[in-house]
């Protein structure tokens, strides 16, 4: 347990940041789930729109330090490829 005033303050700050980051991560996952569901549904227009909405959310997670840049880029790339494959199918 924290003893000094500074360590107590840092513990409080960490608690607040953890809650904020958890909400951000959850929001990103929700957007990604919408894309996954649209792909599973087979509708290319809906999937493309969901991906378009998810991209800025993912990249915002990068700027806020919740997700690594390469991870976000990889997810966007793979989802975009799957959405594009729907058009061909």
- The pLDDT tens digits of the residues spanning 7-59 come to 999 999 999 999 999 999 999 999 999 999 999 999 999 999 999 999 999 99
Q: What is the DSSP string of 13-62?
A: HHHHHHHHHHHHHHHHHHHHHHHHHHHHHT-HHHHHHHHHHHHHHHHHHH
Res. 71: pLDDT tops 80: yes
Whether 89 has a pLDDT exceeding 80, the answer reads no
Q: At what angle do helices 5-41 and 69-88 cross, to 10 degrees?
A: 10
Q: What is the pLDDT of residue 42?
A: 92
Task: Give the tens place of pLDDT for each residue, 46-60.
Answer: 999 999 999 999 999
CATH fold of the domain at 5-88: Methane Monooxygenase Hydroxylase; Chain G, domain 1 (1.20.58)
């Amino acid at each position: 347990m924290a003893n000094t005033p500074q360590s107590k303050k840092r513990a409080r700050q960490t608690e607040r940041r953890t809650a904020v980051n958890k909400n951000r991560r959850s929001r990103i996952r929700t957007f990604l789930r919408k894309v996954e569901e649209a792909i599973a549904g087979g509708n290319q227009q809906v999937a493309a729109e969901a991906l378009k909405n998810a991209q800025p959310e993912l990249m915002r997670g990068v700027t806020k330090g919740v997700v690594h840049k390469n991870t976000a880029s990889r997810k966007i790339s793979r989802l975009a490829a799957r959405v594009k494959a729907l058009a061909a199918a």
